[in-house]
Amino acid sequence: MPKLRTAVNSKDHVQGNANAPIELLEYGDYQCPHCGHAYPIIKSIQKKMGAKLKFVFRNFPLAEVHPNAVHAAVSSEAAALQNKFWEMHDHLFEYQSRLDDKSLVKYAGQLKLNVEQFETDFENPELIQKVDADFESGVRSGVNGTPSFFINGEKYDDSWDEETLLTYLESLLT
């Protein structure tokens, strides 16, 4: 079974209890319809598991099939520089049918980001490098599609419908 090759570190976006017994990491693409379907499932699981779950998101934009995915990922990283990664992450999935550059700037304003700073950061090559590094870490870990999940460092290849995934995660607690 493939393992996560790049351990979760300070460059990652983490939600939940940093010391939780369960670490769920998603490689996702903001324009991917399957990731859009997984988004509310993960939100629900986070709520149900509470402090027992740490959730990590890494960018894995499939640029060949999703032409706006890279810019959407970069916009989430630009938002992160203003401490609004998770707000932008959620917004991108909630409005994933409109991820063109004009919409991304509009979302920055809706999230009360400094839009001028956001636009400057959006052009920052370091953010593209961060997205590329996430993508490469996924490739090294055997990711070839989205969403891809790792649980406590092991690739999860079963169904990610809420009942199946939640049951599996809870089984790890016993």
Q: For 2-21, what is each residue's pLDDT tens digit?
A: 899 999 999 999 999 999 99
Hey, what amino acid is at 52?
K
CA distances from 157 to 19, 24, 47, 74, 99 (A): 24, 13, 22, 27, 28
Radius of gyration of the chain from Cα atoms?
Answer: 16
- Please give the domain boundaries of the chain with CATH numbers for all domains: 23-28+48-167 (3.40.30.10)
Its pTM surpasses 0.95: yes
Least confident window among 1-10, 19-28, 84-93, 121-130:
1-10
Under 8 Å between Cβ of 87 and 75: no
Predicted confidence (pLDDT) per residue in 26-66, tens digit:
999 999 999 999 999 999 999 999 999 999 999 999 999 99
